[in-house]
Amino acid sequence: MSAEESDKFSQYFADSLKWSGPDKILIDDYETKEVLMAALDGYIAMYDNHELRDIKFFGGSTYSSEEASDNPNDIRVYGNWHHTHAETGKAVSHKWMALMRFNSDGQIYLFNDFFDVTGFLSQHLNQKTI
């Protein structure tokens, strides 16, 4: 993904986005769209060949404790990310899950994503084979 693609990617997020990334301790600890885009730019610089595989989408209630919902604007997404570490050429992967809520313009206004950052980074920092 290039910086140009990053700009295209940002159009899917509302300017008022509330993002809770994998580094957050609590689910309601949010950052802004600008912080998310800076994080994505960091991944783009560090990794190549980004691909989300084995994708599963679930619509309606995003949290299991909520009442059942037919709201198509709330989704859960699961999958496995695969990347290549740009410096070493090492293949890395990690499982990922996200909760997303869309506004009436079809943009994501609430985004929680979850993955093991330490385990992901250790794959190329320790030069382990996956």
Neighbours of 120 (CB within 10 A): 19
pLDDT cut 90: percent of the chain above it: 45
Q: Which residues in the chain belong to E strands, given as ranges?
A: 13-20, 47-59, 74-85, 91-102, 108-114
- The pLDDT value recorded for residue 1 is 47
Q: What is the pLDDT of residue 56?
A: 92
Asked whether the predicted pLDDT for residue 3 surpasses 60, the reply is: no
What pairing do the DSSP bridges indicate for beta strands 13-20 and 108-114?
A: parallel
Q: How far is CA 17 from CA 46, 47, 65, 84, 86, in A?
A: 24, 25, 23, 28, 29
Amino acid 82: pLDDT: 93
52: which 2 tokens?
A: 């989300």
Q: What are phi and psi of 127, to 5 degrees?
A: 60, 35
At residue 70, the pLDDT reads 59
Candidate from 18-32, 85-99, 113-127 with smallest mean pLDDT = 113-127
Report pLDDT digits (tens) over 28-87: 899 999 999 999 888 888 889 989 999 998 876 555 555 555 566 888 899 999 999 888
User: Angle 3-10/33-46 helices, nearest 10 degrees?
Assistant: 150
CA dist., res. 117 & res. 51, Å (int) = 17
d(CA 99, CA 19): 10
